Structure 1
Amino acid sequence: MARVAGELIAGLVDEPWGQVSPSVYETGRLVTLAPWLAGHDRRVEFLLATQRPDGGWGAPDGYALVPTLSATEALLTTLRRGERGTLDGLGHGGGAQRSALAAAADRGVRMLLRTLPALDVSTIPDLPATEIITASLVEAVNGHLDDLRRMPPAALGHPVGRLPLPRGIDDIRLGMIHAALDAGVALPEKVLHALEVAGRRARGVRTIRPAATGTVGASPAATAAWLDERDARDPRHPARLFLEAVVKRHGGPVPCGIPITVFERGWVLSGLLRAGIDPPVPAGLAESLRSALGPVGTPAAEGLPADADTTSVAIYALGLLGLRYPPDALWEYETETHFCTWPGEDGFSISVNAHILEAFGHFAASPSPAVDAGTAARYAATIQKLTALLCAEQQADGSWLDRWHASPYYATWCCTLALQHYGGPGATDAVRRARRWVLSTQRPDGSWGRWEGSAEETAYALQILLLTPPDPGETGESAPRGYRFLLPSADDLAKGHVSGPALWHDKDLYLPSAIVRGAVLAALHLAQSGATRTGVC
């Protein structure tokens, strides 16, 4: 465990942009926006290889909408370009290549025609920019279909009708973005992460400047949308260098969000330290968290706006490292009822508020003479407010749900541990109910998971059981069964890998592998160390 933890920490330094799984959505956008970029053929192959038998892409429960729209539009774009050589690696000739593309695109269109009429905005997962992405891609796919119908012989089977927008989604916000770009008005920083929705309007916009890493909006698709033809031909242009570096990392496909430097480091370090793992942490790694914090906190990485989630976890991680940092910047995100992820946020995140409770709670638990009585009282009031909020937002079954993760086990892990450590006596019942929910939802093989048992979700469930007190009368069998399910994951950890579905919310679901490896390692360590009264050891 110590060796694996050390290697995990070293990876944070060796790969400072972060370790993130490829995205169907983002890869599809690069197929359309940057066919000149190295790895184009492999990106098309990736889309073909990840299509589901029903013609869609992505996970169940509404998560297929955005990746299916993106992949279908990308394949239609490729067809219309009349490309050759796209599938040479699969041994097809030119006619077979076009046939494979057409068949996949046809399945995607038919899947969308079947499913879009039944979708409602209230049933679509709350991922960033979903509404404007959907409006943009429905318009683009319909444009392709209109043109293909006028091209005899039909290049795409016999498509019928046009794609409708899901109920409750319109193109008003997309139109506002288009109007702002046409007028030369600067877009809000958070919109840049999905700049690709603007298509060619985004090319070379002067009000947008890449970050030092070369990225626009910490997104390959947004960067490709902004990079105009002249700069794309410049091999030294920072944005082109950024795209080439990201493509090289994944062999063609690309993730939604990269870099994720501060986000990844904060989550990995805080997760390991809270579980009692104390690996050597290079001074530069801790300093990178401290120096990232400013008057309004820190973003997840360059190219994104500062947010309360990354800020609170960075402050909490520094505190666990013995480097106390006042959480006062988080008050910039306070509203009358809760703390927002960033000012003007649409929606609400319970896990963000749990992380903020940890940041305030840990700092306030170690009184400092530098904190005056008024500030200390405000800390106490903030902790009380957050505790009441988390308890009030608990579901009837004892779990929590969140907008940044597909699994209730993540949100429940965040809230339960924050309340256990910093919620005081008033949180006891909420912690007990959460624990009961975890015990009641374990699968027969010992795992936990929303769609299937996974190492990540089992790690969250195990940490809840191992870091909260058991109820009287518990048999103590659940944690050992979960540990036995999780134990084979130790082999993957030793090799620097982690298996499981992508569950984290961005424009598409993604898997931040270093963060998930840290969560699994923390659960294994807790079980093996005997730091619990559940009898695992």
Structure 2
Amino acid sequence: MTADLAEHAHHLLRAMVTDPYGDFSPSVYETARLVSLLPALAGHADRVAFLLGQQAADGGWGGPEGYGLLPTLSATEALLTEFRRTGAPAAAAAAEQGLRALFTRWGPDLRVRLPDTVAVEILVPSLVSELNAHLDALTADDIVLAGGRRLPHPEGTHPALLEELRRLAEAGQALPDKILHSLEALGPAAHGAGFARPGENGLGCSPAATAAWLGGDVAAGRPGVRYLENVQARHGGAVPVAAPLTVFERSWVLSTFADAGLAVTVPDEVLDGLAAEIGPHGLAGGAGLPPDADDTSTALYALAAQGRPHPLDCLREYHVDGHFCTYPDERTPSVTTNAHVLQALCANGPSEVAGRVASWIVDQQHPDGSWTDKWHASPYYATARCFLALAGSGRGVTARERALRWIATTQRPDGSWGRWQGTFEETAYAVQVLARAGEPWADEAAARGCAFLLSWPEAAHPPLWHDKDLYTPGRIVRAEGIAALHLARRRPRIAALLTRLEPAPAERTA
């Protein structure tokens, strides 16, 4: 069985090496922006069909709770644009259902707790304004939708900041690099913005930002057009929320296998490529993104685990007030960024800084024993990352015990774990923690979790990761499952329990 897992891991690595963009799920938000902004791009009809096919029974799009707001705004606006452009009845009907869902899910005031996703504070008001402009134009043509209501700006958004950014862009002033990933929020001011220019990998690691800069012009040879043509190929017209993200994907997969003690042969070109990306400010998760401490520390840990240690000086500028920021001037700190930094620091030996970071992570733990984070919707991701980093540092014993108790009490009857439902990914995080506990009760819970992992159907994994909307990094999720099963099978008691629970006829690791 262990050999089978090793083969799964090597197969994943081989596929990763030959993929220039990474394995990431299609995005309703991002695909809708292309429908609205770039109808002349090849694949437009497929993108419209994707939006229609992704609409939920209640008329909305996207994840539960506040996670559905931005994709529902984006898809509804895109389909209203398509209706006004072509008169397509299907687009009109779906857009009207989308408007109804906005007021049904969140009420006439759009009262919603916005998730801490990328640029949500400016993307939401941008789309609210565009939708209201559509409704005004349709009313002038005697077409009244949503009962004549208009959308308010939800609490927690910053329409004034958005207007200021637009004013600066229109005046020709350069904006911070982190704005490039969400350039589409600037509306017409994004078209041909002088402070930005797409390259062979688009602009800002974002199809939507690239489309906004192009402003509808898809003439052959224009910067960014070939990128958009290529990035839609995996999903038949739809596009991911970010691409290419090869540095992120490779760093996470390699560090996951290393942390689980799963020996894999990593091609030199992968390690050379990661090392080459590290500059004085670290590295970025993908082309067009600014460097950040999360990707930098994960890559440093992965390289050290493969016998390729790199100096940690590039992390110094992210050290603030006893912890590390993901990038300068961020709105909220990230516990998982600090967990990854702690792993990178400990890979280079004990230090005072590592002790302060560990203490900061412990201080962020919730009373129930879990952690939550800005980069992922699930507390199981954040809890596993913090637990594993603290365990590797030898610190936070009490915090780790509390995390174990929380995981034990939240296992579902079918052996899984999950925020909204039991999932392969979240169960993998829980099993990784339990397999390190060394307690009989933890072994039993881990075995039941492994049985759930092995029974997971060959189906898409629900999106749980934060960008502009929720997404799934497919290879990273599969790597987490492989790591969980490997850790569990290294414990004889879990392996023995699993033998009795394992589904027939064959092992599956999703």
TM-score of the two chains, using structure 2 as the length reference: 0.93
**In 2, distance between residues paired with 1:132 and 1:435?**
38
**In 2, distance between residues paired with 1:229 and 1:313?**
38
Is this contact kept in 2: 1:383–1:423, CA < 8 A?
Answer: no
Q: Does 1:381 align with 2:369?
A: no
Indicate the percent of aligned positions where both proteins have the same amino acid: 47
Is this contact kept in 2: 1:479–1:536, CA < 8 A?
Answer: no
**In 1, distance between residues paired with 2:430 and 2:462?**
16
Give the match for residue 405 of structure 1: 376
**In 1, distance between residues paired with 2:318 and 2:493?**
36
Q: Does 1:48 align with 2:9?
A: no
**In 1, distance between residues paired with 2:149 and 2:8?**
54
Give the match for residue 169 of structure 1: 157
1:363-378 → structure 2 map (5 Å cutoff): 363-364=348-349
CA 1:187–1:275: 2 relative to 1, 3 Å: same
Give the match for residue 218 of structure 1: 205
**In 2, distance between residues paired with 1:505 and 1:475?**
30
1:404: how far off? 0.3
- Bigger shift: 69-78 or 36-45? 36-45
Give the match for residue 423 of structure 2: 454
Give the match for residue 95 of structure 1: none
DSSP 3-state at the match of 2:205: coil
Q: Aligned partner of 1:513: which letter?
A: G
1:224: how far off? 0.6
DSSP 3-state at the match of 1:148: helix
1:468: how far off? 3.3
Is this contact kept in 2: 1:466–1:532, CA < 8 A?
Answer: no
How large is the RMSD of aligned CA atoms in angstroms?
Answer: 1.8
Give the match for residue 432 of structure 1: 401
CA 1:262–1:347: 2 relative to 1, 3 Å: same
Give the match for residue 93 of structure 2: 103
1:157: how far off? 4.9
DSSP 3-state at the match of 1:341: coil
Unpaired stretches in structure 1, ≥5 consecutive residues: 84-97, 366-379, 493-497
Unpaired stretches in structure 2, ≥5 consecutive residues: 499-510
Q: Does 1:19 align with 2:23?
A: yes
CA 1:116–1:138: 2 relative to 1, 3 Å: farther
Is this contact kept in 2: 1:362–1:422, CA < 8 A?
Answer: no
Q: Does 1:243 align with 2:266?
A: no
Which of the residues 111, 130, 145 maps onto 2:120? 130
1:117: how far off? 4.1
Q: Does 1:445 align with 2:402?
A: no
Which of the residues 175, 188, 193 maps onto 2:181? 193
DSSP 3-state at the match of 2:317: helix
CA 1:214–1:533: 2 relative to 1, 3 Å: closer
DSSP 3-state at the match of 1:248: coil
Number of residue pairs matched? 493
Q: Aligned partner of 1:299: which letter?
A: A
1:331: how far off? 1.4
**In 1, distance between residues paired with 2:126 and 2:180?**
15
Q: Aligned partner of 1:411: which letter?
A: A
1:16: how far off? 2.5
1:198: how far off? 1.4
1:229: how far off? 5.0
Give the match for residue 113 of structure 1: 103
Q: Does 1:320 align with 2:308?
A: no
Q: Aligned partner of 1:5: which letter?
A: A
**In 1, distance between residues paired with 2:337 and 2:110?**
28
CA 1:505–1:532: 2 relative to 1, 3 Å: farther
Q: Does 1:273 align with 2:258?
A: yes
1:118: how far off? 4.8
**In 2, distance between residues paired with 1:158 and 1:351?**
41
Give the match for residue 259 of structure 1: 244
Which of the residues 430, 438, 455 maps onto 1:488? 455
Which deviations, in whole Å up to 9, do the C-alpha atoms of 1:106-157 show, x marking residues without a partner?
Answer: 1111222342545457x210001101001100000000001111213x2x65
Q: Aligned partner of 2:345: which letter?
A: F
1:44: how far off? 0.7
Give the match for residue 502 of structure 2: none
**In 2, distance between residues paired with 1:398 and 1:485?**
24
Q: Aligned partner of 2:49: which letter?
A: E
Which of the residues 442, 445, 460 maps onto 1:478? 445
TM-score of the two chains, using structure 1 as the length reference: 0.89
